[in-house]
Structure 1
Amino acid sequence: MFTGLIRTIILYLLIIAGIRLMGKRQVGELEPSELVLSLIIADLAAVPMQDFGIPLLTGIVPILTLLSLTMILSVLTMKSTRFRTLMCGRPSVIIRKGKIDQGEMRRNRLTVDELLEELRAQGYAGPAGIEYAILETNGQLSILPWEREKPPTQSQLGLEAEETGLPLVLISDGKLLTRNLTARGYDGVWLQKQLAKHGLKDPGQVFLMTVDEAGGVYLAPRSGQEEGRRRA
């Protein structure tokens, strides 16, 4: 039992390290070569986990070999455009100037229902308002609407907006991130004042609190805190 536990932990950590080497993309955004690698690694790790008669190196060596091969292929795809096209393919323009390219749909085995589903998922009722729709190599559909269909920006309307910058998390699930508080130039006194504005006493009552570069604060109390304040 102990041997099986150790083998499982080793293989699990090895797979996690391999996935981290592949980058931070989600499974749905993996290139075909990366998806195949993930499936093969999972299969190679499953056998040594279940069969204790198989040496652990039987699973580790192929996994390390595949990870090394992946790193080599990654370097080659960065250096060579032709090799990148060979490995990852090319984006396909499904809608061009408002017209659906039926040939591209057939080549990519994309049905009308799937196309309309993707359009609806991105807030478009149909292809009428779309200038370009591009099927990327990771299977995602990128949509570029006509200029007349885009919402106007504040600069186009002649308005000036204050740049708030990136919000920084100060409290996460009741835990105060002191480093972030200091990075924003605030201290405990300022924090207590912000909590008091929301009827709270300590960071443990906060689910999420952020502050942006302009000083804008967002605070969400933990479940039960709002109800407790109403009863009080």
Structure 2
Amino acid sequence: MPNWGEIAIRSLGSMAMLFAMTRILGKKQISQLSFFEYILGITLGELAAFISTDIEAHYFHGVVALLIWFLIPFGLEFLMLKSRKLRHWFEGKGRIMIKEGKVLEDNLKKERITADELLEQLRGKSVFNMADVEFAVMETNGDLNVLLKKDKQPLTASHLGIKMVNEVEPQTVIIDGKYIDEPLATLGLSRGWLNTELEKIGVTVENVFLGQVDAYQQVYVDLYDDKLKVPAPQGKALLLATLKKTQADLELFASASQNEDAKRMYERNSRELADVVSQLTPILQS
């Protein structure tokens, strides 16, 4: 067999083994790496390249080396799941860089981080004033996580006393101009309903590059023709308007009713619905 043919076969075999090993070892191999995972990734890649191109070396010997570099880390991962001490030994521990607003210079030296590098990492977290930082820790993957002081943290709904509901993941129902039936069924909807919603905004499914439906049954579409404009979803606005109209109707019925029991019932229901509208307004206007 010509050399190029043998190299092609070796490369395909190495690629298949490397792909399988990476899948088994987990997604950490393609995310932020620890020291051990960094060394492992480099070595597996080097071995795969070596057994692909070195036609004078025995192919099986390269496979054995590749398996050893796979099996030992694979076994160590199970041991590290059970042993915190072993996990710290291989992956290291997070180190505090800033505590109670003060930089710990000794820890900076241990991690060999300069003041300029610390400031650069802070800027990467959108922190430009070090006085705003209450606590910062250098994680084992080299990332700096920052906790701002209380008065510097962004306002949230809980700070304002606003109750919010958990957001439900939007379902993608159209991709490349084609229906995706499973997400539609998850929402309890049909193609007929979706076609009706698309007609309301004046588009056909063939013109939609990507379409999603949220928990409020609002349809969001991205069209192939970026010059075309589609109206913003109005599902939340319509629901809020309907609730307000219903509450106003109850007040009208209460004022027009001659029966005292009915009048009190309408007034009570109107107050209860007004409370519901007040709670839902921040959600439906978001």
Q: 2:181 and 2:57 mapped to 1: Cα distance?
A: 49
2:136 paired with 1:133: yes
Deviation at 1:28, TM superposition (A): 5.4
Deviation at 1:175, TM superposition (A): 4.4
Check whether the contact 1:163–1:214 (CA below 8 A) recurs between aligned residues.
no
TM-score (norm 1): 0.88
Q: Decide which of 174, 195, 202 is 2:198's aligned counterpart.
A: 195
2:230 paired with 1:227: no
Aligned pairs for 1:47-196 (under 5 A) are 47-196=50-199
Q: Secondary structure at the match of 1:38?
A: helix
Deviation at 1:153, TM superposition (A): 1.7
2:215 paired with 1:213: yes
Q: Secondary structure at the match of 1:227?
A: coil
Check whether the contact 2:80–2:87 (CA below 8 A) recurs between aligned residues.
yes
Superposed CA deviations along residues 165-202 of structure 1, whole A, max 9, x for unmatched, are 12222233444322222122111112223333443212
User: Which structure has more helix as a fraction of its residues?
Assistant: 2
Q: In structure 2, do the counterparts of structure 1 residues 212 and 97 end up closer, same or farther at CA, with 3 Å as the change threshold?
A: same
Higher relative contact order (CA 8 A, sep 6+): 1
Check whether the contact 1:164–1:216 (CA below 8 A) recurs between aligned residues.
no
Check whether the contact 2:29–2:41 (CA below 8 A) recurs between aligned residues.
no
Q: 2:156 and 2:194 mapped to 1: Cα distance?
A: 35
Check whether the contact 1:164–1:212 (CA below 8 A) recurs between aligned residues.
no
The residue identity in structure 1 corresponding to 2:85 is R
Deviation at 1:47, TM superposition (A): 1.3
The gaps in structure 2 that reach 5 residues or longer are 231-286
Q: 2:6 and 2:29 mapped to 1: Cα distance?
A: 32
The residue identity in structure 1 corresponding to 2:213 is V
What is the number of equivalent residue pairs in this alignment? 227
Check whether the contact 1:134–1:141 (CA below 8 A) recurs between aligned residues.
yes
Q: In structure 2, do the counterparts of structure 1 residues 229 and 107 end up closer, same or farther at CA, with 3 Å as the change threshold?
A: closer
Superposed CA deviations along residues 37-79 of structure 1, whole A, max 9, x for unmatched, are 0000111011121122333222222111111111111111111
Q: Secondary structure at the match of 1:29?
A: coil
Q: Secondary structure at the match of 2:26?
A: coil
TM-score (norm 2): 0.73
| Matched-pair identity in % | 30
Check whether the contact 2:195–2:204 (CA below 8 A) recurs between aligned residues.
yes
Superposed CA deviations along residues 84-138 of structure 1, whole A, max 9, x for unmatched, are 1111111000010111111111110112222111111111112111111100011
Larger Rg: 2
Q: Secondary structure at the match of 1:181?
A: helix
Q: Decide which of 34, 38, 56 is 2:41's aligned counterpart.
A: 38
The gaps in structure 1 that reach 5 residues or longer are none
